[in-house]
Amino acid sequence: MKPQLADKWALITGASSGIGEEFAHQLASKGMHLILTARREDKLNDLAQKLFQLHGTKTAVIPIDLVQADGVDQLVSEIRKLPDPVSLVVNNAGFGTVNTIQDCDPQRVADIVQVNIAVVTKLTYEFLPEMIERNDGGVINIGSITAFQPVPYMGVYAASKAYVLHLTEALWAELWDTDVRVLALCPGPTKTEFFDKAGVTSWLSKNFAHTTTQVVSNALAAYDRNHAFCIPGIKNRLVAFVTRLASRRRVVFESKKVFHKLVTEPTSKKK
**Is the CB of residue 181 less than 8 Å from the CB of residue 175?**
yes
Which of 24-38, 96-110, 116-130, 157-171 has the least mean pLDDT?
96-110
3-state helix, strand, coil in the chain (%, to 5): 55, 15, 35
Reference 21, options 122, 93, 116; nearest CA is 93
**Is the CB of residue 157 less than 8 Å from the CB of residue 116?**
yes
In the chain, pLDDT over 90 holds for what percent of residues?
82
- Average pLDDT (148-153) is 95
- 125 in active site: no
Cα separation values, 246 from 145, 146, 205, 207, 236, Å: 16, 16, 29, 24, 16
Angle (nearest 5°) at CA 222 between 219 and 226: 130
- Average pLDDT (165-179) is 98
pLDDT tens digits, one per residue of 50-70? 999 999 999 999 999 999 989
pLDDT tens digits, one per residue of 223-235? 999 999 999 999 9
Q: Residues 125, 153, 157, 223: which is the catalytic one?
A: 157
**Is the CB of residue 141 less than 8 Å from the CB of residue 183?**
yes
pLDDT of residue 52: 97
Helix (H) or strand (E) holding 106: helix 106-113
- The Cα 234–Cα 63 span in angstroms is 36
Q: Where are the domains of the chain?
A: 9-269
- The Cα 53–Cα 235 span in angstroms is 37
pLDDT of residue 271: 45
- The Cα 44–Cα 61 span in angstroms is 7
pLDDT of residue 268: 41
Residue 84 scores a pLDDT above 60: yes
Cα separation values, 170 from 48, 149, 230, Å: 34, 18, 15
Candidate CATH numbers 1.10.1060.10, 3.40.640.10, 3.40.50.720, 3.90.1150.10; the one for domain 9-269: 3.40.50.720
pLDDT of residue 139: 98
pLDDT of residue 269: 47
Longest alpha-carbon distance in the chain: 57
